[in-house]
Amino acid sequence: MLKRYIGWWLALPATLLVAAFLILPVAGTIGSTFGEGAGPFAPYINFFSSGFRRRVLWRTLEISLATTAISLLLGFLTAYVVSRVPRNLKSVLIIAAVFPLLTGVVVRSFAWLIILGKNGILNTTLMGLGITSEPFAMLYTQGSVIVAMVYLFTPLMILTLVGVLENIPDDLIQASASLGASPGGTFRQVVFPLAVPGLIVGAVLVFTGSFTSYATPQLLGGEKQMVMGTLMYQQAMVNFDWVSASTIATIMVVITIAIVLLMTRVAKRLNPMAT
């Protein structure tokens, strides 16, 4: 009888820690948004009745989805190449992919300020080549935020997919080719379906990271490109409106869970074996 429940007892300390430091604070944050003002849903009505806040929410979704899509494409192509090279070269490429993660997010975001600024590296190069006579205004745009986000999160996508693609047996690819499948057909019918679980995990990591990001949008987007993270910080630390900040946090949690469930559902349609 004791052996039957020993797994539960071993997991109990970690479960209590998660409940105390994650579940209860999140539940308290969500609970604080109800019962305030004119009714239990008044904070949410106020949020969605504001055109400015709806634009902030939509902008955050646009940036997060664009970042996820671009990171999926770049990460998948890079991971596929890395998974097929010799082992010695593979180690070097993986280290190169991981190296940006060793630097803090703020430092990497500041690097993009230097690259994209009016007197930055990119504008200086373009003017030096005679492509343009005056610098482009690339900072504090949605594009600059997306570029920096892709740079931040693509290494996570690569690391997630390399292991998955490495586990695809070469025999399957060779068998597909021997049966007359084209390289494109092999990719669609063999490689891609088997990589779907890794794509799910990578997409979830990138989306949740970019959707809740604060430092990069604040540095590269500023007030013009405010997102949910910066709006929540403004409400909590500038306006001291903790109910509004909790409402924004709750909306972010709900949307993140909904997007993750949607990604999982789509992945199961693409591959019934995906979990």
pLDDT tens over the chain, length 275 residues: 556 677 777 788 888 898 888 888 888 888 878 765 566 788 888 899 999 999 999 999 999 999 999 999 999 999 988 888 888 888 888 888 888 888 888 888 888 988 988 888 888 888 888 888 788 888 888 999 999 999 999 999 998 898 888 888 777 877 877 777 777 777 778 888 888 888 888 999 999 999 999 989 998 988 888 999 999 999 988 888 888 999 999 999 999 999 888 888 877 776 655 44
Please list, residue by residue across 221-233, b when 16 or more beta carbons sit within 10 angstroms of its beta carbon and e when fewer do: beeebbbbbbbbe
Whether 32 is covered by a domain: the verdict is: no
Whether 8 is covered by a domain: the verdict is: no
- Cα–Cα distance, 217 to 210 (Å, whole number): 9
Closest CA to 196 of 169, 154, 170, 160: 160
DSSP percent split of the chain into helix, strand, coil, nearest 5: 80, 0, 20
Whether 23 is covered by a domain: the verdict is: no
Looking at residue 141, the DSSP 8-state letter turns out to be S
Whether 2 is covered by a domain: the verdict is: no
Q: Which CATH number is 85's domain given?
A: 1.10.3720.10
Q: At what angle do helices 192-211 and 51-84 cross, to 10 degrees?
A: 140
pLDDT of the residue at 275: 44
Helix locations, 99-241, DSSP H: 105-116, 121-128, 142-166, 170-178, 183-186, 192-211, 215-220, 228-233
Assigned token pair, 189: 């019918």
- Cα–Cα distance, 85 to 92 (Å, whole number): 11
Structural domain for 80, as ranges: 71-270
Whether 132 is covered by a domain: the verdict is: yes
Closest CA to 163 of 260, 207, 98: 98
Q: At what angle do helices 142-166 and 51-84 cross, to 10 degrees?
A: 40
Q: At what angle do helices 121-128 and 105-116 cross, to 10 degrees?
A: 20
User: 43 near 33, Cβ under 8 Å?
Assistant: yes
Whether 84 is covered by a domain: the verdict is: yes
Whether 16 is covered by a domain: the verdict is: no
Whether 264 is covered by a domain: the verdict is: yes
- Cα–Cα distance, 158 to 201 (Å, whole number): 11
Looking at the structure of the chain, the number of domains it has is 1
